[in-house]
Amino acid sequence: MTGAVRKLFVSWKTTASGASAIALALGDLLHQYATDSWDVSRLGSDLIGISTGIGLLFAKDANVTGGTVKQ
């Protein structure tokens, strides 16, 4: 695995949360597309959900110490 991809799977809690946020936002976008019922406020919420999910994919868990030195 490359360095960026390896960092995605270090903390499963934030990876799962980020993937869930992205999946839910994409699911809502797909639903809006399928029903042709676009709502600007929902689009904004979906974009926030996707960006939050991306942020969570690269975040560390609260119980993880900083640095690369083993404690």
Please give the pLDDT value at position 33.
96
Q: Where are the domains of the chain?
A: 8-57
pLDDT digit string, tens, across residues 38-58: 999 999 999 999 999 999 988
List, for residues 56-65, the tens digit of each pLDDT value.
988 877 666 6
Predicted TM-score (pTM) of this structure: 0.76
Query: What is the b/e burial string over 24-47, where b = at least 16 CB atoms within 10 angstroms of the residue's CB?
Result: ebeebbeeeeeeeeeeeeeeeebe
Percent of the chain residues topping a pLDDT of 90 = 56
